[in-house]
């Protein structure tokens, strides 16, 4: 499956990693819901770290959409909240 | 629902909305390509803007660095002239300048990071836009409208996602640049108002003025001492052979005792 890290690009990640990534993602989601900034930071870093270490960067001219999209490391929790709403951070 | 899935769905929804507006995708392809080229222009302008901001911060850092070095030298000069009060003042101003410098340094690093990110984003978008153009030409030449629709969906969604990502990156860079410019403007104003600048150069530099004044009186004293010793040498040269200090342009402290000695000899 293709995973995009915003601001960094797309990586090809083996489908077998889905469960593991979903677990990390649940921690991220829980932290955002609890408004737990420190937890959010830890969970996001762990998730990004994992994707970077198991993923293979895709070539720049690839035109495939991603199955999963991750916020970049320097996005604040508030920015991620905005990203999750439709009129959020994505222009256009 | 999962954060990663929600984000990707939101990107997907934006692409689908645009796709739905297409009647004959072959015609819309050109329009989409046009939009991509515009975004490419925009991201390149973004890189240039960030670079300009970064250079401005760099210039400010250079001039603050000069201030800091100058204040350091003034503190040393003041100390060696026995003026600890002046040295203290110079060092306290230096510490203010150092604080500004540290702040600017953080901004500089952040702008540099933004510049790198946008540069990579611009290269990635360029590669995708080129790939899209090739695909678009193939589709236009080969397929009927109905076939084109399915062929273009994936590529369109893919590039639309990239455009959303790049658009966000540009937005963030613009926000950061605007913040930097406000701060850089504030520092420029500080410098113009003399709050930082008056310690650096020109007539408003009171520490330097004090040091200069002391230096000048020091020069006058040693000149006087030298003259006196020359005069006394003329009248009784042999008496001074053991203390040849003043004629070598030694500091006042050395000149004064010699002067005194010469006076006694008369």
Question: Residue-wise pLDDT tens for chain A (92 aa)?
Answer: 999 999 999 999 999 999 999 999 999 999 998 999 999 999 999 999 999 999 999 999 999 999 999 999 988 998 888 888 765 555 55
Question: Nearest Cβ partner of A4 from B1, B165, B169?
Answer: B165
* Statement: residue B257 has pLDDT above 50: no
Query: What pLDDT, on the 0 to 100 scale, is given for residue B256?
Result: 47
The answer, for B83 touching chain A at a CB cutoff of 8 Å, is no
Contact state of A86 with B13 under an 8 Å Cβ cutoff: yes
Closest CB from B5, B15, B132 relative to A68: B5
C-beta atoms of B164 and A66 within 8 A: no
ipTM > 0.85? yes
| Alpha carbon distance B40, B121 (integer Å) | 9
Whether B1 contacts A64, CB under 8 Å: no
Residue of chain A whose Cα is closest to the Cα of B164:
A90
Q: How many CB atoms lie within 10 A of CB B78?
A: 23
Average pLDDT over residues B168-194: 81
pLDDT for the residue numbered A2 = 95
Taking the Cβ of residue B13 and every Cβ of chain A, the question of whether any pair is shorter than 8 Å is answered with yes
Contacts of A28 in chain B (CB under 8 A): 3
DSSP state of B158: H
Please judge whether B5 and A62 are an interchain contact, meaning their C-beta atoms are less than 8 angstroms apart: no
pLDDT at B200 over 90: no
Q: How confident is the model at residue B264 (pLDDT cuts 50, 70, 90)?
A: very low
Nearest to B165 among A6, A68, A84 (CB): A6
Give contacts of A88 with chain B, Cβ < 8 Å.
10
| Contact status, residue A72 vs residue A8, Cβ threshold 8 Å | yes
* Interface contact A90-B2, CB threshold 8 A: no
Cα gap A86→A42, rounded to integer Å: 25
- Could you tell me which residue, B223 or B261, shows the higher pLDDT? B223
Q: Considering CB atoms only, which of B123, B161, B167 is closest to A66?
A: B161
Q: Count of CB atoms within 10 A of residue A48's CB?
A: 18
Chain A residues whose C-beta sits inside 8 Å of any chain B C-beta: 3-4, 6-7, 9, 21-22, 25-26, 28-29, 32, 47, 59-71, 80, 83-84, 86, 88-92
For residue B253, name the pLDDT band (cuts at 50, 70, 90): very low
Residue A39 C-alpha, separation from nearest chain B C-alpha, in angstroms: 14
CB nearest to B161's CB, from A47, A65, A71: A65
At residue A91, the pLDDT reads: 58
- Report yes or no: B118 at the A interface, CB cutoff 8 Å: no
Specify the pLDDT at position A57. Answer: 96
Q: What is the DSSP string of B37-94?
A: HHHHHHHHHHHHHHHHHHHHHHHHHHHHHHHHHHHHHHHHHHHHTT-HHHHHHHHHHH
Judged by average pLDDT, the poorest of A62-76, B19-33, B82-96 is: B19-33
| pLDDT for the residue numbered B206 | 73
Coil, strand or helix at B217: helix
Q: Taking 70 as the threshold, does the pLDDT of residue B237 lie above it?
A: no
d(CA B266, CA B250): 22
Strand order in the sheet with A9-12: A56-57, A9-12, A2-5, A68-70
Q: Mean pLDDT, chain B, as a whole number?
A: 80
Beta bridge partner(s), residue A56: A12
Q: Is the pTM of this model over 0.80?
A: no
Residue A74: per-residue pLDDT = 87
Alpha carbon B85 to its chain's center? 32
pLDDT at B250 over 80: no
Shortest alpha-carbon distance between residue A42 and chain B (Å): 15
- Res B265: pLDDT: 43
Write the burial class of residue B51 (CB in 10 Å: 0-12 exposed, 13-18 middle, 19+ buried): middle
Query: How many residues in chain B?
Result: 266
Higher pLDDT, residue A91 or B184: B184
Strands A68-70 and A2-5: parallel
Of B43-47, B67-71, B126-130, B237-241, the one with minimum mean pLDDT is B237-241
Confidence band of B198 (pLDDT split at 50, 70, 90): very low
CA pair distance A53, B145, nearest whole angstrom: 42
Q: How far apart are CA B228 and CA B76, in angstroms?
A: 30
State the nearest Cα–Cα gap between A20 and chain B, in angstroms.
13
Neighbours of A60 (CB within 10 A): 17
Identity of the residue in A21, A29, A66 whose CB atom sits nearest the CB atom of B8: A66
């Amino acid at each position: 499956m293709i995973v995009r890290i915003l601001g960094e690009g797309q990586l090809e990640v083996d489908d077998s990693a889905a469960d593991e990534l979903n677990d990390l993602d649940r921690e991220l989601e829980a932290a955002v819901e609890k408004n737990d900034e420190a937890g959010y930071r830890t969970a996001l870093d762990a998730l990004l770290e994992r994707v970077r270490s198991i993923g293979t960067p895709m070539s720049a001219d690839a035109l495939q959409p991603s199955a999963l999209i991750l916020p970049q490391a320097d996005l604040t929790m508030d920015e991620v909240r905005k990203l999750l709403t439709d009129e959020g951070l994505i222009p256009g | 629902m999962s954060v990663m899935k929600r984000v990707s769905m939101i990107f997907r929804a934006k692409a689908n909305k645009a796709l739905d507006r297409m009647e004959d995708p072959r015609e819309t392809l050109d329009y989409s390509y046009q939009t991509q080229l515009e975004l490419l222009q925009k991201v390149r302008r973004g890189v240039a803007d960030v670079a300009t901001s970064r250079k401005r911060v760099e210039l400010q850092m250079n001039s603050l660095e000069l201030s800091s070095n100058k204040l350091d030298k003034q503190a040393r000069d003041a100390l060696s002239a026995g003026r600890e009060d002046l040295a203290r003042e110079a060092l306290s101003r230096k510490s203010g300048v150092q604080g500004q410098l540290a702040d600017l340094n953080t901004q500089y690093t952040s702008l540099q990071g933004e510049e790198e990110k946008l540069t990579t984003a611009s290269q990635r978008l360029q590669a995708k836009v080129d790939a899209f153009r090739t695909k678009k030409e193939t589709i236009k030449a080969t397929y009927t409208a109905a076939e084109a629709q399915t062929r273009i969906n994936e590529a369109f969604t893919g590039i639309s996602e990239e455009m959303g990502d790049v658009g966000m990156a540009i937005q963030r860079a613009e926000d950061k640049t605007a913040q930097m410019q406000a701060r850089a403007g504030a520092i420029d104003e500080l410098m113009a108002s003399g709050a930082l600048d008056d310690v650096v150069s020109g007539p408003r530099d009171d520490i330097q003025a004090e040091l200069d004044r002391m230096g000048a009186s020091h020069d006058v004293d040693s000149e006087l001492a030298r003259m006196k010793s020359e005069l006394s040498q003329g009248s009784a040269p042999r008496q001074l052979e053991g203390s040849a200090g003043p004629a070598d342009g030694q500091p006042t402290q050395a000149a004064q005792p010699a002067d005194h000695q010469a006076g006694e000899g008369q």
